[in-house]
Structure 1
Amino acid sequence: MTDLDKKILESAHGEHRLNPDEQKRCFGTFAERLVLSVLLADAENQTILDNFDQVLQDLKAKYDSLSLKISPKLSSAKQMGYMKIAQQAGIQATIVNEANAKSPYGLIVHSGRAENIDNPDIKVLYPQLFSIKKEAKKTQKKPFWRKWFQ
């Protein structure tokens, strides 16, 4: 069968997967399997990358057969960093490049079975990673003149 015939058949019959919009959003997996989701902007954050090994170890203790899916929209350095951390943790990692996928996520960790977590967002599950950033901003140096005239 030629590519044209295949395209015509796919267009006539639709996709052969269950709930394709959800799977496109979640890098080819179902939403009920998500254990952790990280938005694209959060995945670019260096604090998340630095603490991602602890997050994976925590998730690995709670769930079995985990997989990490990485967005191709992340920078190459971040992609390789997350892949290296996942490899050290013994978790399969793949960079997913699905056509027509409009996913807001940068990283998705999912299980092999349905876990049904209400909100798998990293900001909800690990808020301490984001409080570290706020504390660092509070400890900024005082201006020179404020030291003398306070």
Structure 2
Amino acid sequence: MTDLSTQLLEKAHGGAKLNPDEQRRYLGTFEERVLGFADIETANSPEFQKGFLSILESFQEQEQPLFLKINPKIEFDKQVFYLKQAKEADCQATIVSDDLTSSPFGLIFHTDHVTQINEKNLKVTFSNLWEDQKEESTKKSIWKKWFG
């Protein structure tokens, strides 16, 4: 039989957690449930914001139920945008609490069961969102065309 005070302390702190470091890293979920993630810099980029709806629809075709966790370190207007888009697409979205902000990730798409996905980095998986930016930057100026 366990000591009553030990049992009360465990219940008061939410009980024992399985892999607490992994849960902190992935904004409160387990790695095997993660469908895709974006770091904070990527989540703040305008290219990612433009392609967010297509990413969301792609994941909704793959898995149900779909959840989105948002790091509070993302710019406020982008947090609101992601929440609004997710709600309109019937995806449950949450801005996580400040105690999970040590995570390097800005956004986590996940489900409630184990998934088998090899590449979870959204910047790699949806690299076509960043190709347009690279093409624009490789255009030569008129001066380089004439003189160079």
Contact 1:67 1:93 in 2 (8 A): yes
User: What is the distance in 1 between the residues matched to 2:66 and 2:121?
Assistant: 16
- TM-aligned CA deviation for residue 119 of structure 1: 2.6
Q: List gaps (5 residues or longer) in structure 2.
A: none
> CA 1:121/1:147 → structure 2, altered by over 3 Å: closer, same or farther?
closer
Q: How many residues align?
A: 141
1:119 aligns with 2:119: yes
TM-score, length of structure 1 as denominator length = 0.83
Contact 2:63 2:111 in 1 (8 A): yes
Equivalences for residues 33-72 of structure 1 within 5 A: 33-72=33-72
Amino acid of the structure 2 residue aligned with 1:142: S
Runs of 4+ in structure 1 displaced over 4 angstroms?
A: none
Describe the superposition over 1:48-72 as per-residue Cα deviations: whole angstroms up to 9, x where unpaired. 0011001110110111100000000
Describe the superposition over 1:7-60 as per-residue Cα deviations: whole angstroms up to 9, x where unpaired. xx36xx996211000001111110000001001110010010011001110110
Q: List gaps (5 residues or longer) in structure 1.
A: none
Structure 1 residue matching 2:99: 3-state secondary structure? coil
- TM-aligned CA deviation for residue 148 of structure 1: 4.5
> CA 1:94/1:133 → structure 2, altered by over 3 Å: closer, same or farther?
same
> CA 1:131/1:147 → structure 2, altered by over 3 Å: closer, same or farther?
closer
User: What is the distance in 1 between the residues matched to 2:136 and 2:81?
Assistant: 23
User: What is the distance in 2 between the residues matched to 1:36 and 1:100?
Assistant: 18
Amino acid of the structure 1 residue aligned with 2:96: V
User: What is the distance in 1 between the residues matched to 2:106 and 2:82?
Assistant: 11
| Number of the residue aligned with 1:142 | 141
Amino acid of the structure 1 residue aligned with 2:113: R
RMSD: 2.4
User: What is the distance in 2 between the residues matched to 1:135 and 1:50?
Assistant: 17
> CA 1:98/1:20 → structure 2, altered by over 3 Å: closer, same or farther?
farther
User: What is the distance in 2 between the residues matched to 1:55 and 1:42?
Assistant: 13
| Number of the residue aligned with 1:94 | 94
User: What is the distance in 2 between the residues matched to 1:100 and 1:59?
Assistant: 24
